[in-house]
Structure 1
Amino acid sequence: MVENTPMYLMSIKPKYAYRIFTNIKKFELRKWFGVTPEKGSIIVVYASGSVRAIIGEFRVGRIISGKPSHIWDKLSLFEETGVSEEDYQYIKGSKMAMALEVIDPKLYIKPITLDEIRSIIPGFMPPFSFRRLYTDEPLYELIIRKAREYLYMKTM
């Protein structure tokens, strides 16, 4: 576990998040709004909707960016992406988008619910899409770091 690796907190609808953690979905599609995670970054996944919890993380592999049609064309060159027409509909109307390759997805031992987060950080709001996560901020230091340490202790 490298603490200086860039990290991002990303909100993903539960059905897509679980497809990531069951190794079905190999790319996460996002509308682009000026921020692109670097290759090798860690994405901490907040499952939105009825789950409302931080459930795990994955590392970013290849990054494809451009117009949605360009991304769809590029993804069609890969054998197994786990990306469906329904996924594409999410980015279809945007000017720019990106596809982040999912590498080494890891579910946390126990999800960290929004209520649990708010009991430690009152008023916490998960990002609408995603945001940079810094290791010196309370969300990481008090909550995510502990979940990651426990996860990595169990996998060694």
Structure 2
Amino acid sequence: MTLATALRAGLRTATHWKRIGRDADFERQQFTFWFVRDNADHEKNCDRQRMSNLDLFRHDFVLSIKPEYAIKIVSGQKKVELRRRFPYGTVTGAVMYIYASAPIQAVIGYATISTVEELPVERIWANYSDVAFIARDDFDAYYAERTSGFVIKLQDPVAVPEPVPLSLLKDRLGFTPPQSFAYADDAFRQLIRGSER
């Protein structure tokens, strides 16, 4: 079954995912997420976040993305992800795990971050509209009242053979989908990469 077929079918049945959970040979591990909320109130508190630049370099990312965009990323069509805010100076080679939001609600793949650029909003549209797969009206609404934004350039996308559903992520890692993005540790990486075996 192809990824697209699996997604249309609702990512298998609950019984199937329970079996996958029993078969996976991962130990339970405590998984801590530092959530960055995509709202103005949290933005005021960002400076108080206790994470150094070195800490950022040790983390891959989990991004919550609408299904229509998430599927295009793992298929290799969508070359960039646009964000209102993102850690500046993110190390090249970090991995972006792609959590497709409702109705899919699963990690469906990942891609490597080649670079992250902060640009004026109009330059983002001029330079990347052809690979961002977003309509102009949606773009304008997303960046409303902002003068700049971030472009996450992606390469080497991978669609995992068995999308990892939210139920399993919660059970094994205590995962809650981030509103914007979260940092992933080894437990998360092992669970997602294990689905490729």
Q: Among 66, 82, 107, which residue is 1:29 paired with?
A: 82
Q: Does structure 1 residue 100 correspond to structure 2 residue 145? A: no
- Following superposition of structure 1 onto structure 2, how do residues 19-98 of structure 1 map, counting pairs within 5 Å? 19-32=72-85, 35-36=87-88, 37-75=90-128, 81-86=131-136, 88-89=139-140, 91-93=142-144, 94-98=146-150
Say which structure is richer in helix. 2
Distance 1:103 1:129, change over 3 A: same
Shift, 1:63, TM fit: 2.3
Superposition TM-score, scaled by structure 2 size: 0.61
Distance 1:121 1:21, change over 3 A: closer
Q: Is the 8 A contact 2:79 2:132 kept in 1?
A: yes
Shift, 1:82, TM fit: 4.3
Which runs of 4 or more aligned residues in structure 1 lie more than 4 Å from their structure 2 counterparts after TM superposition? none
**CA root-mean-square deviation:** 2.4
Superposition TM-score, scaled by structure 1 size: 0.75
Flag the structure with larger Rg. 2
Separation in 2, partners of 1:90, 1:43: 24
Partner of 2:189: 144
Percent of pairs with identical residues: 25
Shift, 1:40, TM fit: 1.5
Partner of 1:133: 184
Amino acid at match of 2:102: G
Gaps of 5+ in 2: 1-56
Say which structure is richer in strand. 1
Shift, 1:73, TM fit: 2.4
Separation in 1, partners of 2:143, 2:170: 34
Distance 1:24 1:82, change over 3 A: farther
Gaps of 5+ in 1: 136-140
Shift, 1:61, TM fit: 1.6
Q: Is the 8 A contact 2:85 2:150 kept in 1?
A: yes
Distance 1:44 1:64, change over 3 A: same
